[in-house]
Copies of this chain bind each other. A is one copy, B any other.
Amino acid sequence: MTDDPRATLTRKEGRASSERATLDSLLDEVPVGVLSTVVDGMPWSVPMFFARDGDRVLLHGSTGAGALRQVSDGAPATLTVLSLDGFVVAFNAFESSANYRSAVLRGTLQTLSGPEAAAGLETLTDRLFPGRTREVVPSTTKELSATVCLSLPIAEGSWLYKCREGGSEPPDGEPTRAWTGVVPLRVTAGEPERDAWNTSGAPVPDSVHAILRAYPR
Contact = CB atoms under 8 A, between A and B. Distances in A.
Interface of A: 5-6, 8-13, 31-32, 34, 36-39, 41-47, 49, 61-62, 64-67, 76-78, 80, 82, 84, 87, 89-94, 96, 98, 100, 102, 104, 106, 121-122, 125, 128-129, 132-133, 135-137, 139-140, 143, 146-147, 167-168, 170, 175-200, 202-205, 207-208, 211-212, 215, 217
B178 A184 contact: no
Contact of A200 (B135, B175, B205): B175
Contact of A94 (B61, B143, B184, B196): B143
A178 to B, nearest CB: 5
A59 to B, nearest CB: 13
7 contacts: A12-B62, A34-B82, A42-B106, A89-B207, A96-B132, A168-B195, A185-B187
Contacts of A5: 66
Contacts of A91: 136-137
Contacts of A87: 128-129, 211
Identical copies of this chain, number = 2
Contacts of A125: 93, 96
Nearest to A211: B183
